[in-house]
Amino acid sequence: FDAAAMAGFDKDKVAAMDDSAMAGFDAAQVAGFDAAAIAGFDKDKVAAMDAAAMAGFDAAQVAGFDAAAMAGFDKDKVAAMDAAAMAGFESEQLSELPAAAFTGLDSEKMSNLDKKALSGISPDQFAALDSSALGGLKSENLGGLAPDVFNSMSEEEFASLDPSAVREMKGEDFSK
């Protein structure tokens, strides 16, 4: 299937596709989808996709996912995504991403998450992160984490933060 032809799919055509068809897509085909078509992906379609195909999504496409579709993501799918695509995630989407999927994030992916998007992360999701991923949090995005996430951080997690990141921390981040 020619990757350029994917631009002919809109959200209704994507939604009408059988979930099992998603397993046939490769990264080039995924990259061919118009960002507006991504709203047709639900959790079952995302779950059926091969992890390697996830590398085709860019930030504009990621922003098009309905928050409910996040339940189809897992560690391997997140790990396969391009780090630049992380900039497309919004707080509503991250709040619905399974905690186990957060183990697919590395420091480069974390550095591309928007400050506002980080506000959707819960303490349980944050706890699932490998501490090495926290090195990607910088002052520009760390301030987006909710105070309850800061209150749940371990010694190892604080130790993993880049020193420049703590500039955004406020008094309420340390209050219980």
Confidence grade of residue 148 (pLDDT, cut at 50, 70, 90): confident
In a 10 Å sphere around its CB, with 0-12 CB exposed, 13-18 middle and 19+ buried, how is residue 7 labelled?
Answer: exposed
Chain-centre distance of CA 60, in angstroms?
Answer: 12
CA 163 to CA 176: how far, in whole Å? 23
pLDDT-based confidence at 138, cuts 50/70/90?
A: confident
Of residues 60 and 143, the one with the higher pLDDT is 60
Q: How far apart are CA 155 and CA 54, in angstroms?
A: 33
Length of the chain measured in residues: 176
